[in-house]
Structure formats: structure tokens, C-alpha cells
Structure 1
Amino acid sequence: MREICVIGGSRYFGKLLVERLQDEDHQVTVINRGSVPPPPGVEHLVVDRNDEAALTAALDARTFDVVVDQVCYTPVQAAVAARVFAGRTRRYVMTSTIEVYDPATAALPASPADTPVPEDVVDPAAWLVAMDLPWHDDAYLEAHYAEGKRQAEAVLTRAGGFEFVSVRSAHVLGGGALEFTGRLAHYTERIAEGRAIAVHTKAQPTVFIHYEELAELMLWATAADFTGPINACSDGPLDVHGLVAIIARRIGREPVHRTVPAGGEASPFSFDRYYAMSNARAKKLGFSFSRSTDWMPGAVTETLTTEPSPTV
């Protein structure tokens, strides 16, 4: 049994991770602002992780084998965590994102065309950190989500008070109504209703992961001994046409496409640039991934059997 702290953990794969940790008989503590209570048997510390004094006081003399940070979005939050948890934990696992590789949000090293990017394309040890940017402004943070994640990784990588891992997740789907972004519902609703799906002229592939698989990978990462960034994505990149074809077969209706001009707004997961990660490092370290095409039809079915979500 290990002492594990989860910051966030109130919804989707974070909530599932808490349940899986309990299933393995670990002692779990959840830190969040109290909007959603954790499962019975989980210690709950209601505190704002941005308030360093309050977080320190809430933790008191507690120590943990592992901290899993589901909700670190800025270098400021990362710096608070680095100070508070230094000496309190051996290992710190942060949920990051495929968006750290988005060339639209940063000047990144050139990669071979149409090649899934490995982790070293974004090296957090060398990434510039700017703590004086308006990270506390919600609008700024939303517009600079990818950069916030890159800089948060950089701060925690350099902290030195614990082993650090960043899990760079692909686009997460599955779970029906649990998939709170509504991106898969965007497609199921439009195809079912015969509405057009906006796509780029030359839509490029991206990568996905099922929320249960991501929870399993996070669980695996808590017990492993590697450090640094790791990409988390199922095998088999899909472009928007491949994704739509899977959904359309499940619904039994032909999709309608509308091509958007260059720079135009397209449906989620339609990209005008190659946007796939390599999961080779995780495989080499021992994690086995499923194929996107194996679980995607079931994820579509889950969406079809839940209440419609807001159109996005």
C-alpha cells in the first residue's frame, strides 16, 4: 500500500484514476476546492491549490509516496506545488497534453514531415519560463493553454525536490456523458441529423486515447521509476475522415462534409497540419496501448446512448 495524493481527481479519467488507486488498496488523498466529493474512503482536503499558505496548512505534516497533479495549468501553479511538495513526496506525476507540440502556439524544432513526434521535441529542461505573464487571467490562460502546460512542465522538471513525470495525453474520448468537452457528441449529433461537418481541404491525422486507458497509464506511471515526459496515445492515428467514417458506420447514415477555406474554423479533430505523437517511449518502458479503431466504435455507442450534449 502506498500513500498517494491526487490534485483534482473530481471528473473523467482523474476520477477513474482515484477509483483504480482504491481498487489496488492504496491510501488516497484528494485535494480540490470541494465542488465534487471523492469516493467513500478517500481523504478529502478542500483547499485552493493556488493558495500556497492554505495548501501548506491543509497538508500539515502529511507526506506521500506519489502526487498526481491533474490540474496544473501554469508555471505559477507549478512553482507553488514545487515548494509545497518538496520533501513531502518521492514522485510527482503531472497530466500534460498533446497541445505542447502544437506548432501554432510555439516555435518548435523541425521534425520530419508526417512523422509522430517524440517527447524530446519539447524539452522542459530547456523551455523558457515567464512567471510574470498574466497567468491568473482566465481569458489569457485559455488562449495560452499549451504554453501554460509547457512552462508548468519546465518548472517542475527543474524543481529537483522529487522525481518528476509529465504525461502528455492525446485527445481523450469515451465514457459518453463523462466526456465533458462534447467533441465526440459534436459528430454523432451532426451525422445523425444530416448536418454538415466542417473539415479542412487536406485534413491531417492526430491521435486519441480512451479515458480508461489514460487512467491505466496514469496508474502505471505512479508505480514506475522513469522520469521526464511521456506521450500517451493509442496506436493508429486518425484523420477527421477516418473518425467520421467510424461514427457514420455506427449510426448507419452517410456523413455530409463541408470544406472550410484556409484559416477557417473546422470541426474538432480536423487539423490542417500533421498532429500525431509517438508512443514508442512508453512502449519501451513497458506500457501496452490499444488501437484507436478497436475502442472508438464503443465510445461512439456510449455517446449515442447518453443525453445529447451542448453543440460545440
Structure 2
Amino acid sequence: MRLCFLVEEHYRHDGMPNEVIRQLTAWGHHVDVVRPGGSLLRMTDLVRAGAHDAWVLKTVSGGPGLTLLEAAAAAGVTTVNDARSIRGVRDKALAAALGSARGLPLPPTYAVASPELLVEIPDELYPLVVKPADGSSGRGVHLLPSPDRLGALLPALAGEGMLIAQPYVPNPGTDIKVYCVGGELHATERCSPLHPDAAVRERRVPLPAEVAEIAARVGEVYGLDLYGVDVLLGPDGPVVVDVNDFPSFRQVPDAAARVAGAVLDLARAGGGRTAVPPCPPARPYALPVAVPAQAAARAGDGA
């Protein structure tokens, strides 16, 4: 197969996706690598239907890579993940609206175009977590403990563009990162970006059935096939605090081979799923959700 990987400069020397590219090449497939942030791109010639079996995106949020992927999709090229689905999670304000409308357990989310507007959020919702709507890799995440601390935070928020703010979910300083690849779910525990001093080494952990159901539902809601979900075990149950397309897949056994195999399967199938359509008025996340057979089988042993 002929594949095109869009790799931002930030990930140029990263194990993911370079190990996946090496694996695909070792299997005899041809992989072209385009670096959208470091190349002069002739858009009228770059995307040609039939030149590649699929395009794969591994770039930072807000970078030019997603524009190229969307151009490829418009030309009829298969993309991994679906380009519209990636847009739906990379804009965190949009992701919050879509997920809430479709029943995912998300914190109440406010969006502001100017950080000064955060003053209008009710005092009783503090402490707040504030971050850029197009942020990634924990960049620009701030814990705002009380309204009187907002003024001191404004310089750090200036220039970040659209921001989202959510009430802080009490937690022990760790979150669960669930990775989905090839229809299987893999869970790890790691330090929360808001608690970098927590003495926790990133490690694989058993995947609670309730979290497995939510993680599987995330893929259906946003139309993702390769993704990661950050979940906090709050006092009222699991809460989804972030969704990433094509994450690092750290701690996933044989991650490069698993991801490479999933990319090939999706390319051969002409793409994966798309987001579920909007539902009637949102219901609380309470009804049972079907989990892929592989995920259900692994939920009890943390695989």
C-alpha cells in the first residue's frame, strides 16, 4: 500500500509515529512523509486522488496538518482518522458541546474568546481548570483556585485564542488514559497535568468496566478509530476531561505494530467510522453502552 503521513516538526523525532512508519516500511509498504510545518506546499498538486491509499495525521493542534488532511478528504482520499472527526475533538469547545449533547460525562464547559470574560463565570463554580481550546500535550493548562486570582493569570492567557473553562474535578492527582487501537482498549495511570509533583509512575492498570464503556462510547460519539481518552475518577463517577486523535499510545504492548496494523485495516476498508448523528435532548450518562468484544474481554485484566 502507499500511505502518506503528515508529521509536524514537534513529532519529527518522536517514537510515535516514526516507529509506526518503520514498521509499515518493514512490511513492504511505501510511506511518504510530509512535514506541513516545515515545507513549501504546492496545494494544487499535493493532493491527488489515487496517489495514496490513505493519509494519516500526527500533528499538534492548531498546526497546518489538519488543513492538508481535510484537503485530501475533499479529494476523495481515505484519512485516518476521519478528518471531520479530528476537527471535532481538536477544538475542545466544540468537543465539549458535541460530547455533552450525545450523553458523555463531561464537566460543564464555558468558552471565551478573551480571558477577561472569565470573570463572568459564577464564583460557586471555582476552582476552575482553564486551557486553550486548541491545546495539546498539557500545554497552557491552568488551575484557577478562586476569582480573585484571575487578574494574575491574565498575562499567561493572553494570545491563547479561544479558551475553555471547566469546574475542577476533585481527584487524587492522577488520571486514567485509555487508548483505543484496533478495537481494543488499553488503560494507563499517570500524573494529572495539574498535579505534576504527584509521585506516580506511568503504568498500565486494570480498566474498570464503567470506564471501558465510556471510552468505547467516545469513539462512537466522535467517529474516531485511533484515539486516547483522559478520564478522572471524580466523587460522582468517571468524567471525560480530554480526547486525543492519534495519541502516543505509551505503555500499549507492541504499540507500533498494533497501530500500523490498524492503519492498514482502515486504509483497506476505505476509512473508519464517522460520528454518531445528533441525538434528541441529552440524557444523563446512565444507560448501558455496548463495548467492543475485545474491550470487554480485556476490561477485567487491564489489557
The answer, yes or no, to whether TM exceeds 0.5 is no
Bigger helix fraction:
1
Bigger strand fraction:
2
Per the shorter chain, which TM-score range? 0.3 to 0.5
The TM-score with structure 1 as length reference comes to: 0.37
